[in-house]
Amino acid sequence: MKRLRSYCLILFACIPFSCHNANTNSPTSNDKKNDDSAWALLPFIKIDSVNPVLTPGKDSFICPIRNEKIFWEEKDVFNPAIVVKDGKIFMLYRAQDKEGSPGGTSRIGLAESMDGIHFTRHEQPVLFPGNDAEKKYEWEGGCEDPRVVEDSNGVYYMTYTAYDGKLARLLIATSKDLFHWTKYGSVFRKAYNGKYLDKWSKSGSIVSTYENGKIIATKINGKYWMYWGDQNIWAATSDDLLNWTPVEMEQKDAPPIALKGQALNMPDLKIVIPTRDKKFDSDLVESGPPAMITDKGILLIYNSKNLIAIGDTSLPEGTYADAQVLLDKNDPTKIIKRMDSYFIKPDKPYELSGQVNNVCFLEGLANFHDQWFLYYGTADSKIAVAVKK
């Protein structure tokens, strides 16, 4: 998300997921009549009986940079990636301490669950700033907002945001077990002679096939594709999942909207998903979980921010609500369908109040036990789940 911004072994069949246990007075789906159900992944029901499923913890570790014990997740936990492995859900989540400035240093923690609802967390973070080549990018803001896919050989690839206190950069790391990660630095370090290395970049959603619980990065016309960005949503391509090249405009292309914010510093990029005036996504749009290849196209769940002056006057100022967009499998930069309104918005106390108020930030999606589990950060403070049967 834009900056400023007990373990229980319970049989899955015993968990009550019926709408009776959800607060149906706070709809999570779009109330407007449209054809979204023909292509979008809907509806999702927030599981009020268990939410939030993860809250700040008291685990500590020795920070290799500070060389002292840090309670690395005591301030906030939010914005998780999700992996299904060995019959369990693994959650890689962003956690903040109270030491770093500004707002605490972020690290990536790991928790696991047999049912997708009750999680046990591991004591140590699995990805964090250290005395390595990426320290200059990661310290002391930290490592933020992971998204994880795997390749055909079972190697996991994590895109994450490194924040040095001034600039966000999209980085990548790999792992074979989710516990030990190898950092490779900026995804754009080699593109256009480093043109985008020192530009604001984050939120890498790699286009994938969701198959038997796994999220497998999948090439389209010989290339991997990724959606990224948090002003507009742009695209990038790769041959190896490590080195990515942003998609720039061709000479015949014209900017679809007046550039603003971070986009002013990157005028050559082809905007794939722009913001929209008079709507809930007026101020910014930002990639959610790894994009999904379906028989209809490429489905991307995205986050957005509202400004009342130019957006949806029915939503509070700064609300992060969420929608879906369908893109062409043969041309991943072409929109086929886009929801007219959000399908999830903040309406629970832990979504309305926290480090940043009025936030539902969707980032983790899994097909598990014949249901879809959608995990999200609430008010940049806790983690909740919604389920689609």
pLDDT single digits (tens) 223-233: 999 999 999 99
Give the mean pLDDT of 131-158. Answer: 98
Give the mean pLDDT of 143-169. Answer: 98
Among the listed ranges 10-19, 311-320, 371-380, which one has the minimum average pLDDT value? Answer: 10-19
pLDDT in the model for residue 364:
98
- The answer, yes or no, to whether residue 254 has pLDDT greater than 70, is no
Q: Is 50 exposed, middle or buried (0-12, 13-18, 19+ CB in 10 A)?
A: middle
* Confidence grade of residue 279 (pLDDT, cut at 50, 70, 90): very high
For 214, other C-beta atoms within 10 Å of its C-beta total 16
**Whether the predicted model's global pTM rises above the 0.85 cut:** yes
**Residue 332 in contact with residue 298, Cβ under 8 Å?**
yes
pLDDT in tens, 47-91: 999 999 999 999 999 999 999 999 999 999 999 999 999 999 999
- The answer, yes or no, to whether residue 22 has pLDDT greater than 80, is no
**Residue 146 in contact with residue 81, Cβ under 8 Å?**
yes
Closest by CA position to 292, among listed 342, 360, 341, 220: 220
What does the domain layout of the chain look like in residue ranges? Answer: 31-388
pLDDT in the model for residue 310:
97
Superfamily of domain 31-388: Glycosyl hydrolase domain; family 43 (2.115.10.20)
pLDDT in the model for residue 334:
98
pLDDT in the model for residue 34:
56
Residue 159 identity (one-letter amino acid): T
